[in-house]
Structure 1
Amino acid sequence: METQLDYLIRLVEAVIYGGLVGYERQLRLKSAGIRTHILITLGAALMMLISKYGFFDMLNHAQVDLDPSRVASQVVSSIGFIGVGAILTYRHGIEGLTTSASIWCVTAIGLAVGAGMHFLAFTATILILLIQILLHHRHFLDGLPGALEGRLIVHLKGDTRMMEKIVEELRSQKIKKLQAIVLAYDSENLIFKLNFIIQTEEELSFIVIFLSQYKQITEVENVKSL
């Protein structure tokens, strides 16, 4: 017979698994990080516990038929709204598909924990982490914990030559995997995105301060893609 302590342990287990996946997302500067993934996994586990064990007192009534999968199916349907909210469209580019998928996956992990399928939930968590870390870049080492992916949108009063000069000076600062992508431009203004790899968030602040020395740069946006 399940006890309240068993339920509590399952909730803590869900928090741990959701936190692990959320930690990887937060390392990559995604706004859907540890707290978001923990709350989703915890909520899914709690919903499954309520669905599976919360109506035992009703079983004594005649003609009462309980189906725990009904609550689970509603959780899967409702998480789609959060998943869609994690997908952003910015200047004809799409961001957040991977994090949206991870939100969907941690929901399933929470349901598995709530249902008592501990080994399945643990295995799924490990697989998600391996996929997110190892397959995030073409070179596996770039995706190991400690390597953060930064993205900045830079508004520049100038042309591509000025952009190239800025990029080269950034490269001289030993910024890893630095890439510049032009998003929009006209005769006087240029908007481009900088993608790069850093080791700490302090390095991101350094890059922003470094860019601020250019009078031609009017705005720098920190893009926390989901």
Structure 2
Amino acid sequence: MPPLTGLAFLPHLRDLGIAYALAFIIGWNREKEDRSAGLRTFPLVAVAACGFIQATEGLTQGEPEAAARIIEGVITGMGFIGGGAILKHGGEVHGTATAASLWATGAIGVAVALTAYDVAIVICGFTAVTLYIMAHLKSRERG
């Protein structure tokens, strides 16, 4: 492992900041809608997903199969986190949008770590727009 020299950590810091900022947008919506996961959870998920990819870059360099295994592990972990957000009360199921949003947020973190910023921005945009539109449609149905 190469020693930490100069400002070599700045690209990692930049990417972690981008992942955090994009996830914050989604977390803001979930917080505003008073959901079980919000401003604390979503940025942490994106930063962790991004961090797992960054932390293993030295191990996976030149080995796409190894990188794929790390990404698969992040995806699996996101499934467990998302599963924890889903609750069943009687015949009703709650939390599926939050679980799907958490999964999307993990994808944002992975995309940023792989420097696929365009993909991360599009996932964030689609997720935020979907949550915003659906919240307004549901409130119209009730009112």
Q: TM-score range by the shorter chain?
A: 0.7 to 0.9
1:47 counterpart (49, 52, 57): 52
Q: How does 1:61-210 map to 2 (within 5 A)?
A: 67-138=66-137, 177=143
**Closer, same or farther: CA 127–66 of 1 in aligned 2, 3 Å:** closer
The normalised TM-score by structure 2 is 0.84
Whichever residue aligns with residue 15 of structure 1, its letter is: Y
Q: Which has the higher helix share?
A: 2
Name the residue aligned to 1:220.
none
Q: Matched residues in 2 for 1:79 and 1:128: separation?
A: 16
Give ranges in structure 1 of 5+ residues lacking alignment. Answer: 144-175, 178-226
- Give 4+ residue runs of structure 1 displaced > 6 Å after superposition: none
| 1:33 aligns to 2:38 (yes or no) | yes
**Secondary structure, aligned partner of 1:89:** strand
2:26 counterpart (11, 21, 30): 21
**Secondary structure, aligned partner of 2:99:** helix
What do residues 50-102 of structure 1 show as CA deviations (whole Å, max 9, x unaligned)?
Answer: 23x2327x87xxxx886211100111012111111101111332110110100
The normalised TM-score by structure 1 is 0.55
**Closer, same or farther: CA 49–88 of 1 in aligned 2, 3 Å:** same
Give ranges in structure 2 of 5+ residues lacking alignment. Answer: 1-6
Identity fraction in percent: 26
The structure with the larger Rg is 1
Q: Matched residues in 2 for 1:117 and 1:13: separation?
A: 11
Whichever residue aligns with residue 19 of structure 1, its letter is: F
- Structure ranking higher on relative contact order (CA contacts 8 Å, 6+ apart): 2
Q: Which has the higher strand share?
A: 1
Q: Matched residues in 2 for 1:10 and 1:100: separation?
A: 24
How many residues are treated as equivalent by the alignment?
Answer: 136
